[in-house]
Amino acid sequence: MSTPRSIAPSRRGILAAGGAVGIGALLAACGGGKGPGGANGGGKGGPWSFTDDRGTKVSLGSTPQRIVAFTGTAAALHDFGIDDRIVGVFGPTRLKNGKPDPQAGDLDIDKVTILGNAYNQFNVEKYAALRPDLLVTNMYEPGALWFVPDDSKDKITHLAKSVAITSSRVTLVKIIERYADLARSLGADLEAKKVTDAKTRFEKAAAALRKAAKSHPVKVLACSGSADLFYASNPGINADLKYFKSLGVDLIVPDHLDKGGYFESLSWENADKYKADVLLLDNRTATLQPKDLAAKPSWTRLPAVKAGQITPWSSEPRFSYAGAAPLLESLTRAIESAKKVS
């Protein structure tokens, strides 16, 4: 990841509970997620359990039927066949023009309740009203539930059990496998054609990227732009970059990382510190895109920019084979068409 998730330095959200009216009553009515349609009611089969990446064994009386998840997490579970049980999402979901945010993947966002569309948003009252059985999200820092605000975390986690999957410091493949494990535990058929076809495409894309990296040796910098700073990302900690590097992509490693280790923040005057042939540019809606960066002389002077060798980087990838395969294919095309300019 390049910027502090471009939004928060500690990767942890800040959302004041704001004295939300009626939370106590909703907690009582929902019984902490139990009862009809809750953790112990309306489920299928026997007891359910899953040990997440906090090392926490999450147990319920039956398989969760009402799941709320971070948008990208929900999209990944959808790719593995868990969809009709996802009742709510939080995080970047809908763009200003009304279309789905890229992180939503193939999830039908009109069929879920959006609890918040930005980093500092999570409507606890709406969450309680959904009578959730389970909350699922990523974990970029140990113990931190991604996009679950610290200030309202206790209220949120009291309503339903939570599962967190590590989303950095290990390779992309390992995280996808963990989401597959979770989906399987929830009842997904990982032998379904949709899933196996996606895995085959992913494996083919990985082989193609390995071949491209070997036959077209160019230096790649994963980066992100904000109004004041240019961020050079660390392939040693970002899961997708770590995987790309394992396939042979010559990703530049910043030598003076900020606290947390995800990136090095540079003033725009020093944006040319690292000589890259290809720029893998963070394409999230919260970051600056080429049209926004065109007014910065230091950006336009970069050799890769002059050569038009910029390719989008989905820096918060969807952790599924279906979500990751297009990322590999896009990077492969960028490398194959690039020339050395640094």
Geometric angle at alpha carbon 113, from 100 and 56, rounded to 5°:
100
Collapsing DSSP to helix, strand or coil, 48 comes out as strand
CATH architecture of 197-337: 3-Layer(aba) Sandwich (3.40)
Query: Do 210 and 297 meet the contact criterion of CB atoms below 8 Å apart?
Result: no
* pLDDT tens string 253-285: 999 999 989 999 999 999 999 999 999 999 988
Residues in the chain with pLDDT < 50?
Answer: 1-43
pLDDT value of position 38: 30
Geometric angle at alpha carbon 32, from 28 and 38, rounded to 5°:
110
Reported as type and span, the H/E element at residue 183 is helix 172-185
pLDDT value of position 45: 67
Structure tokens at 23: 């939370």
Within its chain, how far is the Cα of 230 from the centroid? 21
Compute the chain's Rg from CA coordinates: 21
pLDDT value of position 19: 30
pLDDT value of position 321: 98
Question: Do β-strands 219-225 and 229-233 pair in parallel, antiparallel, or remain unpaired?
Answer: antiparallel
Question: How far is it, in rounded angstroms, from Cα 142 to Cα 295?
Answer: 38
Name the β-bridge partners of 134: 67, 161
Q: For the packed helices 321-337 and 172-185, what is the interaxial angle rounded to 10 degrees?
A: 160
Q: The whole model's pTM is what?
A: 0.86
Question: How far is it, in rounded angstroms, from Cα 265 to Cα 71?
Answer: 27
Question: How far is it, in rounded angstroms, from Cα 249 to Cα 224?
Answer: 19
Question: How far is it, in rounded angstroms, from Cα 254 to Cα 177?
Answer: 28
Beta-carbon count within 10 A of 125 CB: 14
Query: Do 262 and 78 meet the contact criterion of CB atoms below 8 Å apart?
Result: no
pLDDT value of position 234: 96
Count Cα neighbours of 313 within 13 Å in the Cβ-side half-sphere.
Answer: 28
Question: How far is it, in rounded angstroms, from Cα 47 to Cα 64?
Answer: 10
* pLDDT tens string 186-204: 999 999 999 999 999 999 9
Structure tokens at 264: 């090095």
- Range list for CATH 3.40.50.1980 in the chain: 23-190, 197-337
Geometric angle at alpha carbon 283, from 286 and 256, rounded to 5°:
85
CATH architecture of 23-190: 3-Layer(aba) Sandwich (3.40)
Q: What is the DSSP code string of 217-267?
A: --EEEEEEE-SSEEEEE-TTTBHHHHHHHHTT-EE---SSPPTTSSEEEEE
Distances (CA, A) of 215 to 70, 334, 336, 337: 38, 13, 8, 11
Place of tokens 């995080």: 91
Collapsing DSSP to helix, strand or coil, 57 comes out as strand
